[in-house]
Amino acid sequence: MNAALTRIIIPDGVTSIGDEAFHSCKNLKEAVIPDGLTAIGKYAFAYTGLETVALPDGLTDIGASAFAACGRLSSVTIPDSVTNIGRSAFEWDTNLVLTVGRNSYAETYCKENGLKYAYAK
């Protein structure tokens, strides 16, 4: 855990974020994620201080518990390219509203898991 880490910019060319990459970085409020990222690993951002996240088009996989227990997380935009969201990916994120496309995999995931969501404009 790195308590001083408050913002990260993941460089262009990175295609995946590994399991537990930023797990428990409690002060991490912002993550800038580049186009070209296709996968986010298990627990990658779990237990962080993230507030909002915009995931890039082309992302296909969000690992189990990837954003679990992010108490400040209020908004995540999930692109239509996502075809897999792992179990409990957004568990214990009580303030979260996911922004999803109509008839997308993410919309189905939200309905099946009782998550709050809104449609992308």
Q: Residue 1: its pLDDT value, please?
A: 58
Instruction: Write down the domain spans for the chain.
Output: 1-121
Q: Residue 52: its pLDDT value, please?
A: 87
Record: fold of 1-121? 3.80.10
Whole-prediction pTM: 0.94
Q: Work out the number of other CB atoms within 10 angstroms of the CB of residue 27.
A: 13
| Residue 15, Cβ density class (10 Å: 0-12 exposed, 13-18 middle, ≥19 buried) | exposed
pLDDT one digit per residue (tens) for the chain, 121 residues: 567 889 999 999 999 999 999 999 999 999 999 999 999 999 999 999 999 888 999 999 999 999 999 999 999 999 999 999 999 999 999 999 999 999 999 999 999 999 999 998 8
